[in-house]
Amino acid sequence: MKPILKFLSGREAGIFVMIILFCTAVGIYKPHFISSNSLRIILLLVPLIMIGAMAQMLVLVARHVDLSMGSMLGFSAMVAGLMYRDMPEIWWPIGFLVAVGTGAVLGLFNGLLVTIFNLPSIIVTLGTLNLYRGLTFIISDARQINRANIPSELKAMSQTSPIFGIPWIILMSFAIALLTFYLVRYTQLGRQIYAIGSNPNAAPLRGINVTKVTLIVFIISGALSGLAGIMYASRWGFVNPSNTGMGFEFQVIAAVVIGGVSINGGVGTVLGTFLGVILLGCVAAALPLLGIPGTTQSAIYGSVILIALLIDRSVRQRATANTKRSRA
């Protein structure tokens, strides 16, 4: 009973209610929105954002931010795509290893710059955002990896499913969410990420190796961006140096901030992030149905981020007011 009560009073319940309200409102206006088909559309929209959001959540909890995710996604997808194009006989799952590995290296580079030189992650990743995007053009010779070059088994992962008709990539993104839940809930590393985010000065006094934890967080962010990259290739069947992953970081930040992850570090739950991603997916799926043109999408994401920030602030204020009252 206790966990249920805790859920009902928390931030996650608020997002959950918002999802229900939003879907009901759209469902009344356009009844065929509530169907298993639109559920499928929503779920197919979210796997990449889900994986990115889990990584960005960890980064934000550690009191950093990673703006280079979209470029890491693009670069890793391109490396895997080039491998498929130039070595067609290779066993296709190697692409996963290559993409995740490439992403991890890019993330490590971000992490090293942040930790060794003690630089603010926002500026570092603003730099690498452009650096990695430029490198993607260079390694690909500014040419697209076409549909014919992506193995059909990989493309099939977005269509076929092992159980319940849920495609592989959706199951994978849910698995990543579960793994992240396990990481932050039950491992020492996970708790250390929260510790350095809540108080970066106190964490080393408790014997936490802040440099190591920060590095790992950035490596995870890169590796998961790489995973999202190979899933992009699976989902869309091409890799384009300029489009692939463009603006990905903004969607991810929107989802994470909606999910109640604090931008001041130390606060954020996997469930909240998960629901934030789903809410964003519902909005994205409902827009074309409501006849709202795709050009408004970015404006909606932007305003959603700002509104979420304001809600987050008022929630935090009420929380501190409550502690003060109970202390008095």
Partner 1 sequence: MTNQIPSLYHKKSWRSLFNRPETMTFTLLILALVGASLLSEYFLDVNYILRSFTLTAELSIAALVLTMVIISGEIDLSAAANIALSACIFAYVQASGAPMTLAILTGLFAGLVMGSLNAILVIVYQLPSIIVTIGTLIFYRGLAQVIAGDKSIRVPEWFIGVNTKMVLGVPFPVVIFTATAIILGLVLGTTIYGRQIYQVGTNNTAALHAGIKSNRIKFGLFVLLGVVSSACGIMAASRLGSVRYDLALGGELQMVLMAMLGGTYIFGGRGTILGTFLAAWLLVIVSTGMTVANLLPAIQLTVLGLLLIVAIIATNFIYSRARR
Where do contacts with partner 1 occur on this chain (CB under 8 A)? 65, 67, 113, 117-120, 122-124, 126-138, 142, 241, 250, 253-254, 257, 263-264, 293, 295-303, 305-306, 309-310, 313
The residues that bridge with 239 in the sheet, in sequence order, are: 145
Which CB atom, from 78 or from 230, has the smaller least distance to partner 1? Answer: 78
CB burial of residue 21 (10 Å; 0-12, 13-18, 19+): exposed
Which CB atom, from 64 or from 235, has the smaller least distance to partner 1? Answer: 64
CB of 194 to partner 1, least distance (A): 19
CB of 290 to partner 1, least distance (A): 15
- CB of 288 within 8 A of CB of 38? no
Which CB atom, from 210 or from 263, has the smaller least distance to partner 1? Answer: 263
Cα(166)–Cα(159) distance, rounded to whole angstroms? 8
Which CB atom, from 39 or from 305, has the smaller least distance to partner 1? Answer: 305
- CB of 76 within 8 A of CB of 102? yes
Cα(119)–Cα(27) distance, rounded to whole angstroms? 48
**Cα distances (angstroms) measured from residue 238 to each of 70, 80, 247:** 16, 11, 17
Helix (H, G, I), strand (E, B) or coil at 119: coil
Which CB atom, from 11 or from 155, has the smaller least distance to partner 1? Answer: 11
CB of 72 to partner 1, least distance (A): 13
CB of 166 to partner 1, least distance (A): 31
**Cα distances (angstroms) measured from residue 59 to each of 188, 190, 271, 305:** 16, 11, 16, 17
CB of 262 to partner 1, least distance (A): 10
**Helices within 208-269 (DSSP H only):** 210-236, 248-258
Which CB atom, from 207 or from 293, has the smaller least distance to partner 1? Answer: 293
Which CB atom, from 19 or from 311, has the smaller least distance to partner 1? Answer: 311
CB burial of residue 131 (10 Å; 0-12, 13-18, 19+): middle
CB of 251 to partner 1, least distance (A): 9
- CB of 128 within 8 A of CB of 110? yes
CB of 162 to partner 1, least distance (A): 37
